[in-house]
Amino acid sequence: MNDSATEFRILQPLWNIIKDGREEYLGSPLFPVFMSVTFYFVAVLPFMIIDLYGKEWHWVQRYKIQPSKEVTWPMVKQTVWVTFWNHVMYILPASIAQWVWQPPLPLDPIAPTLWEYLWQIIVSFALFDTYYYVVHTAFHKYRFLYRWLHAIHHEYHSPFSWVTQYLHPWELLIVGMGTTFIPWIFDSHCFTIWSFMLLNIVVAVESHIGFDFPWAPHHWFPFGVYGGAPKHDMHHYKPLTNFQPYFNTWDKLMGTWCPPMAAGGMKSKQLLEFEEKKRMERQTKFFKSS
The residue with greater pLDDT, 5 or 179, is: 179
What is the predicted pLDDT for the residue at 99? 64
Say what the pTM is: 0.91
**Please, what's the b/e burial string for 70-96 (b: 16 or more CB within 10 A of its CB; e: otherwise)?**
ebeeebbeebbebbeebbeeebeeebe
Q: How far apart are the C-alpha atoms of 157 and 66, rounded to whole Å?
A: 9
Taking a C-beta distance cutoff of 8 angstroms, is the pair 212, 63 a contact? Answer: yes
Return the percentage of the chain with pLDDT > 90, whole number. Answer: 74
**Where do the domains of the chain lie?**
23-289
Dump pLDDT digits (tens) for 83-142: 999 988 888 777 777 666 666 778 899 999 999 999 999 999 999 999 999 999 999 999
Measured CA to CA, the distance from residue 106 to residue 175 in angstroms comes to: 26
- In the chain, the amino acid numbered 282 is R
Is 60 exceeded by the pLDDT of residue 188? yes
